[in-house]
Structure 1
Amino acid sequence: MNGKRKKRSGAPAADSAAGPSRRSFLKLSATAMAAPLLLNTRPGDAAVWITTPQPVFPPSPPTRPWLEELPRAIVPVPPADALDPSAEAQPKFDDKEAGREPHQRFDEIIAALGGPTLYALTAKAVPWRFHPDLPAQTAWTYVSDDDDATLPSTIFAEYGHPIVCRFHNELPKDHMGFGSPVISTHLHNLHMSSGCDGYPADYYREDKAGPTLQDIGPNGGKGTFKDHFYPNVYAGYDDWRAEHGGGIGDPNEALGTLWFHDHTEDFTAPNVYRGLAGFYLLFDHIDSGNEADPSATALRLPSHPYDYPLAFGDKRFDPDGYLFWDEFHVEGVLGDKVTVNGKIEPVLRVDARKYRLRLLNTGPSRFYEFYLVDTRDRLQRFTYIANDGNLLPAPLLDQRRVRLAVAERADIVVDFARYPIGTELYLVNRLRQESTRKPKDVRAPGTRVLKFIVDRPPPRQDLSQVPATLRPLPDLPTAEELARLKVRRWEFDRKNGLWMVNGRLFDRHVPRARIKQGSAEIWELVGESGGWSHPIHLHLEEGRILSKSVDDVEVPIPPHERGRKDVFELDQTMTVKVLVRFRDFHGKYVMHCHNVIHEDHAMMVRWDVEVDQDA
C-alpha cells in the first residue's frame, strides 16, 4: 500500500518542536542544491558530493571477487593496564577527559562485584583498502593501543565483571570530506546509565564539546577521551536483588551480541559508514564462551576461535574508487557494494566443524536476506540461535534464510563438518533494494557477498553443541497487568520532506516523554506512510513484541522475533506494540530510526527516565 493511511482517532501528545537552527539545517538539506557539486578532497581521502534532491549516483567501479581473505580467527581487544577505580574511573584524574556526569551506581556495583577492568580504544583515521581493485584510502575505526587497525574491533566481556571503556578521540581535526571528527560512542544495547549511553549531543574532542556536555567538567566539556562505565549486570538488577537478597539479576535478561558505534548528532550515518563500529560480546555462566565448559549450566555453543563476528555494510565508491557519500540528501546513499568486516567479497577459510557466526547489519540503509548456498546455488541449512543479541528460548532448526534490518543481529550455527574438505560455500543476499526507502523483493540467485572454503579438519575435537533449550524468556505480565499499563503512540512519518516522529523533529534538550524509573509501558510504534521501512531502536532496555498489525489487521509474529529485541522493523504501514521496562538507571535516552540517514535527519526522540522522588 503506497498511499497515506487514514489516521486513527486520538492525536499524539504534543511534543516540543526542534530549535530553529536545527530546522533550518534540515530544510536546507531537504532542498539541497540545484546542481551537483564535488567537494575537493585530499588524495586517499573519501569523496563528498552535494547533489540534487533526487540524484542519480554513478555505480561503483567493478571489483573482482574472492581476492582477499579474512583472518582465520578474530583477535579480541586486550585489556589495558590495571585500573585503580579510586584514582581514575569515578572522579576525573586530569583535565583531558571530556565532560561526563558521575557514573551512576559505580561505588555500589564495584563494591559488590569488584573493581572494573579497563579497556582503551581510540577513534582514529587509518590506512585502509576495501578491495585490491580500489585505491588505498582512509577509514575511521576504533583501535586498541597495541593493535593493528581492524574492522571491526571486538571486546569480550562477562556478566558480573564491570568494565570501564576509555574512548579516545584522535580523529583529524583538519578533516575534509564527509563525516565529523567528533564522537559519542553508543554501546548498542547494554543496560547502563545515561551518561555512558552515547547520547547524540554528548560528542567531544580536544577542542569541542557537544551542547549537552558544555556545562560539565573542568574543561567546558571538551577532552581527548571519555570513560564509559559498563556494569555488565542484567536488566532488572534492583528487582532481582530485592527478591533474592543479592546477585546481578535474572540471567534470562542476558544479552550476547552487542555492538558499539558512533552516535554523533547529525553525523551518525557518515561516521559509522567510515568505519566507527565494533563488537562487544557478552558472556555468562549459560552462554559462557567455552565449548569445553564442564558446568551443567553451560550451553557449550561453538566458542572462539570458532565464534566469529561478521559486520555487513553497504558502501558506494566514486568513479576513482574512493568512498562516496551525499551529506545533504535526506534519503542518503544506497551502497551497491557490500563490505564484510571492511572488505568487499572476501574469503573466510573454515575448519570442518561447527561455527557460531554473529551477523550484524551496520547499515546505513540496506536490508539483507541472507542464504547459504553451494557453488550451484543450492540452499544449505543452518541453525538460528539468537536475534538482536538475545538467545532464543530454543534453536530454530533447518533454517535457510535470515533477514536483517539495519542494526539487527542474528547468531547462526553452521556445521561445516557436513562438507568434504575443499567445499566452497557462499553467503548470498537475495533481498533486492533499489533505494534507501525500503527493500523491494526476494529474487534468486542473489548477490554473493562472502565465500567460505572448508579447507582442513579441525586441529582438535569439536566439543560444541546446540542444545534443544537455550535461554528461557522472562515472564510477561498477565493480561490484566498489561491492560493497566500506560500506552504511548509513536508515529514515524515524513512531512514536508523531513523525517519526523509524531510530527516533530528531534530536540536534544527537550524530552518527549518522562517515565518513572522502575515502571513498564506499552509503546505503539507506527509506520504512517507506505513508502518507507523503518528499523526502530530503543536504548537502555530490550522490548517484547506483543502484536504486529498492518492497516489494523493483525499479522503473525515471526518465530525469530518472539524473543527479546531492541530493533523493531516497521514495514511500511505496520504497527508494532512493544512491552518496554525502564529499570535500574535514569537520565536521558533516545529512540530513533536506525536507518541512520533518517536518524541524522531528526527521526529521533529524547525520553527521560526519572527517579521517583517519593520512593
Structure 2
Amino acid sequence: MFSRRDILKIGLASGAYGALGPGPRRRVFADNLPSSPRTTPFVVALPIAPIAQPTAAFATRADPGDCVNVDGSTAFHVHGPRVVPTNSQFFLIHEQARPHSFHPQLPANVIWGYNGMAPGPTFIARSGTPFLVRFVNDLPQNDPVGIGEPISAIHRHGGFQAEEDDGYPIDTFCTGQSRDYFYPNEPADGLVQNEESTLWYHDHAIDITGPNVYRGLAGFYLSFDAVDSIAGELDTNPQALRLPGRMVSLPSGEQFREFDVPIVIQDKLFDRNGFLVFDTFDHNGFLGDKFVLNGAIQPFFRVARRKYRFRFLNGSNARFYQLFLSNGQPFVAIATDDSLLEHPVTVKSFEIGPAERVEVVIDFTNTTLGQEIFLVNRLQQTDGRKPDGLVSPGTQLLKFIVDRDAADPSRVPDTLRPVTVGPQQLLPQVRVKRTFEFERSDGAWVINGEFFDENRIDAKPKRGTPEIWTLKSGGGWAHPVHVHLTDFFILSRNDSTPPVLERGRKDTVAIGGPDFGDVKILLPFPANFRAVPRPVTGRFVFHCHNIEHEDMRMMGQFDVQP
C-alpha cells in the first residue's frame, strides 16, 4: 500500500486518492473541498466523556508482530506478556466505528472512537496505581468513509512509560488484534515535581496518524496525586491544593467529575450533505471550518456562580488557537501540557498549538444569573502552514450560561508545584548540545534534511543525563514539536526569556515563523522506572505535531543509552 509520502515523491498527489485503499471511498480532492453547511451555534450541551471503568484482571498477552503498516514495516518492539504489579488496575478499550452526531442539523457521521465515542473515555489515574490497558482493534477493513486506515498504535501523550508502551509508530496492531499497554502512573525518577496532570491518548500509527485522529481516535488521561488530588476541593489533607473539582456519583451509579472539565478543541470540515471530509494530501496541515468541542459543534455549557477548572487540549491536526473570554475576564492559568505550574498566572488570553494543553481556572462568582459569556478564538488561520494573526471579534467556540449558585470550597493557592530540580540544578550537568532543524524540502517535511527512518538513530542521550537541544525552523513555517518520554524546560525563545506560560515544564513547543522562531530546551532524560524497576533505555521519537507534517515523516528518534 502506498503512503502519502510515496505518492508525493512520484508526483501523483493531485490525483491519487484511490491509491490508498480499496472500495468506493468518499475522498475529496484538495482543489474542490467545500465549505461546510451552516449550523446554528449553541444548541447542543457540551458533551462530557464518561470515565473509563476498570475491569477484572486478565492474563496479559504478547505484542503482535505481524501487523503490516502502510509502508510495509512491522513492529519493532515485540515483547512477551507484561508483568505488572499486584496493585495494577486493568482496562479494556475497543476501537470501534459508531454513528456520532456533531450537530442536530447534520446527519450522523460514522466516526472511529475508543469504545466507539469521540472523544474516548477519560482515564482517571492515581499516582502509584499502575494501569494495564488492552486496546482492541475492532475497526472495519474496507471502510466506505475513506478517512483513516484500520491500523493502530496508542501514544499516551505526555506520559512517562517504557519504549514498548509508548506508541512507537511502527508498533501497530491491525483489525482483529489487540495490544497491551502498561502505564506506571508514576512521576519520572520519583520526583514530586514530575507528577503528571493532563495527558491525552491518541492514535500514533506510522504515516496515518492524521486521518485516524481526525476520524476520532483521541481521549483524555487525567492524573492525580496527594497534592493535586482526586478529592480536589473536598480534600482535608493539609498538603492538598484543593483546586476546583470533585468526584460525584450520578443516579445511575456512574462516577462523574464535577467543576473540573476537560475540553478538546478540534476543527472539522463537512461536505454539502453534512459528512466528514479530509484531504489526505494537504501536507501543509489540514484545516476545517467547523469548531468541535468534545465532539459537538459550538456547544453551550451551564455553569454555577463559582470557580471551575478547565483543561483545554488542542486536538486539531494543524490549527493554532488564541482564546479569550467575551466579557474581558482573565483566566488564571495553573498548568501547561502535563504539568502544574509553580505558581498560578493571570492572563487575558492564551495561545495553544496542536497537542498542547493549558489548564485554567475561570471564576464565575461575580457574574449575574442568566449571563452569557463566550469562549472566543481570535487567532485567524487560513493555511496549515501557520497562523495569520489576531482578528476581532473572532469566532465564538463555546457559550457559558450562568444559571445557578453553588457552594465553592475550592481555592487556587499561590504555590502549586515547586520545581526542585530545574535549570539551576541541571545546567551544570549538561555535556551534550544538539541542534535539530525542522525544514521543508521538495514539498515535504524533514528534520536535519532527513525523513524518519526506523533504522536510523538521530541521538543517543544517556539516561539520567540532561542535554540542551536547539530547535530551529526556517521559511515562515510553524511546527509544534513534541518530544516523547521526557518533559523539558524552555531556556529561551529567540535568545530571549520565554513567555510566562512557557516557563513551566512542557512536552510540546511551537517553533518557526515570525511568531515563534527558534527555541532552546533543556531535557532531563530520566534514569529509572519504579513501578516495575528497570532503567530507562530504548527508542523514543520526537516530531512535529502538525499531524500532516508528522505523517510526512517529520520525525526523528533517540535511543536512550544505559
TM-score w.r.t. the length of structure 2 is 0.89
Instruction: Tell whether 2:528 aligns with 1:528.
Output: no
**How far off its partner does 1:178 sit?**
2.1
Choose from 163, 171, 178 the match for 1:202.
171
Choose from 129, 136, 141 the match for 1:161.
129
Q: Distance in 2 between matches of 1:541 and 1:40?
A: 36
Mark the CA change 1:37 to 1:568 in structure 2 (over 3 Å): closer, same or farther. same
**How far off its partner does 1:254 sit?**
1.3
Letter in 2 for 1:564: R
**How far off its partner does 1:324 sit?**
0.9
Alignment of 1:122-271 (within 5 A): 122-143=94-115, 149-176=117-144, 177-206=146-175, 224-236=177-189, 249-271=190-212
**How far off its partner does 1:224 sit?**
1.7
Q: Distance in 2 between matches of 1:601 and 1:75?
A: 34
**How far off its partner does 1:556 sit?**
3.2
Instruction: Please state whether the residue corresponding to 2:236 is helix, strand or coil.
Output: coil
Identical residues among aligned pairs (%): 40
- On the 8 A contact 1:47/1:322 being kept in 2, the answer is no
Instruction: Tell whether 2:509 aligns with 1:568.
Output: yes
Alignment of 1:460-539 (within 5 A): 461-478=407-424, 481-482=427-428, 484-530=430-476, 532-539=477-484
Q: Distance in 1 between matches of 2:222 and 2:40?
A: 33
Partner of 1:602: 553
- On the 8 A contact 2:342/2:417 being kept in 1, the answer is yes
Q: Distance in 2 between matches of 1:391 and 1:369?
A: 20
Mark the CA change 1:427 to 1:21 in structure 2 (over 3 Å): closer, same or farther. closer
Q: Distance in 2 between matches of 1:25 and 1:37?
A: 11
**Aligned residue pairs: how many?**
531
Letter in 2 for 1:582: F
**How far off its partner does 1:80 sit?**
1.4
Instruction: Tell whether 2:312 aligns with 1:312.
Output: no
- On the 8 A contact 1:103/1:195 being kept in 2, the answer is no
Instruction: Please state whether the residue corresponding to 1:413 is helix, strand or coil.
Output: strand
- On the 8 A contact 1:279/1:309 being kept in 2, the answer is yes
Q: Distance in 2 between matches of 1:347 and 1:485?
A: 51
Mark the CA change 1:64 to 1:275 in structure 2 (over 3 Å): closer, same or farther. same
Instruction: Please state whether the residue corresponding to 1:329 is helix, strand or coil.
Output: coil
Instruction: Please state whether the residue corresponding to 2:160 is helix, strand or coil.
Output: coil
Instruction: Please state whether the residue corresponding to 1:139 is helix, strand or coil.
Output: strand
Instruction: Please state whether the residue corresponding to 2:164 is helix, strand or coil.
Output: helix
Alignment of 1:409-420 (within 5 A): 409-420=357-368
Q: Distance in 2 between matches of 1:479 and 1:93?
A: 39
Instruction: Tell whether 2:36 aligns with 1:60.
Output: yes
Q: Distance in 2 between matches of 1:25 and 1:512?
A: 25
Partner of 2:284: 331
Q: Distance in 2 between matches of 1:274 and 1:21?
A: 18
Mark the CA change 1:96 to 1:479 in structure 2 (over 3 Å): closer, same or farther. closer
- On the 8 A contact 1:124/1:169 being kept in 2, the answer is yes
Letter in 1 for 2:50: V
**How far off its partner does 1:56 sit?**
5.6
Q: Distance in 1 between matches of 2:196 and 2:111?
A: 29
Letter in 1 for 2:499: P
- On the 8 A contact 1:306/1:354 being kept in 2, the answer is yes
Q: Over aligned residues, Cα RMSD in angstroms?
A: 2.7
Kindly provide the CA deviation profile for residues 384-426 of structure 1, in whole angstroms up to 9, marking residues without a partner as x: 11111211111013x2211100000000111122212211111
Instruction: Please state whether the residue corresponding to 2:270 is helix, strand or coil.
Output: coil
Q: Which segments of 5 or more consecutive residues in structure 2 lack a partner in the other structure?
A: 68-73, 246-256, 529-535
Instruction: Tell whether 2:520 aligns with 1:577.
Output: yes
**How far off its partner does 1:296 sit?**
1.1
- On the 8 A contact 2:244/2:308 being kept in 1, the answer is yes
Mark the CA change 1:479 to 1:384 in structure 2 (over 3 Å): closer, same or farther. closer
Higher Cα radius of gyration: 1
Partner of 1:49: 28
Q: Which segments of 5 or more consecutive residues in structure 1 lack a partner in the other structure?
A: 1-19, 207-222, 237-248
- On the 8 A contact 2:466/2:522 being kept in 1, the answer is yes
Partner of 1:395: 344
Partner of 2:253: none
**How far off its partner does 1:477 sit?**
4.8
Partner of 1:27: 9
Alignment of 1:338-377 (within 5 A): 338-373=291-326
**How far off its partner does 1:102 sit?**
4.0
Instruction: Please state whether the residue corresponding to 1:271 is helix, strand or coil.
Output: helix
Mark the CA change 1:426 to 1:321 in structure 2 (over 3 Å): closer, same or farther. same
TM-score w.r.t. the length of structure 1 is 0.81
- On the 8 A contact 1:311/1:359 being kept in 2, the answer is yes
Structure 1 residue runs of 4 or more that deviate by more than 6 Å after TM superposition: 35-43, 93-99
Kindly provide the CA deviation profile for residues 126-169 of structure 1, in whole angstroms up to 9, marking residues without a partner as x: 101111111111011111xxxx7352421100111111011111
Q: Distance in 1 between matches of 2:492 and 2:281?
A: 36
Q: Distance in 1 between matches of 2:184 and 2:506?
A: 20
Q: Distance in 2 between matches of 1:168 and 1:37?
A: 28
Q: Distance in 1 between matches of 2:38 and 2:553?
A: 34
Kindly provide the CA deviation profile for residues 296-319 of structure 1, in whole angstroms up to 9, marking residues without a partner as x: 110000112111100000111112
